[in-house]
Amino acid sequence: MGEMGVAEPTDAALDVELIDVERVWRELGPGALQLAAAMVGPHDAHDIAASAFLRVTASANWVQVADRRAYLFRAVRNEAQNLYRTRARRWRRDLAAVRPAIHADQPIDVDVYRALAHLTLRQRTVVFLAYWHDMTEAEIAEVVDVSRSTIHRDLRLARDRLRKELS
């Protein structure tokens, strides 16, 4: 007995729980993976399915769930929605970081936005600071907190990528 009279789980009890979780994964895992692949694509499917499975099996309610397949599939759907929401927030935040102030006399160039979207976040940051704020590489390095040579490389790679995308 542990503290306050609560029985500690034995190794045998833990083994039974692990075997049950493994059995449930073997039964329900392939369906959860297929659902996740249909919702988010094959690259993120395993992460979504595994995360949902770990979340539901760690829940205290898992033992009492009557339809575990439906419960797991709902959890997969929720994980996929969380992924989409996270990516949408990140996309909006990244676009806001590189978007210049739009004036009525400036035409919006969709090709430039598309080209910028193909850059990494740090490359977009470097381009934004260099061209919209007229900062030097040394100033950008101080703001971004990386070495000047890294800023130089990122700016060169970003220019090359933008030149390629816009030509």
1 contact partners, CB below 8 Å, separation of at least 6: 7, 8
Write down the CATH number for the domain with range 103-166: 1.10.10.10
- Contact assessment for residue 125 and residue 144, using Cβ atoms and an 8 Å cutoff: yes
Q: Is the pTM of this model over 0.85?
A: no
> According to the model, what pLDDT value does residue 19 have?
59
All structural domains of the chain with their residue ranges: 3-95, 103-166
Tell whether the torsion through CA atoms of 92, 96, 97 and 100 is positive or negative. Answer: positive
Residues 124-130, mean pLDDT to the nearest whole number: 87
Residues 128-135, mean pLDDT to the nearest whole number: 86
Percent of the chain residues past pLDDT 90, beyond the cut: 37
Q: Is 109 helix (H, G, I), strand (E, B) or coil?
A: coil
Question: Which of 14 and 69 is assigned the larger pLDDT?
Answer: 69
Count of positions (residues) in the chain = 167
For domain 3-95, the question of CATH label 2.40.50 is answered with no
> According to the model, what pLDDT value does residue 103 have?
56
Question: Which of 125 and 99 is assigned the larger pLDDT?
Answer: 125
Q: Tell me if 3-95 shares its fold with 103-166.
A: no
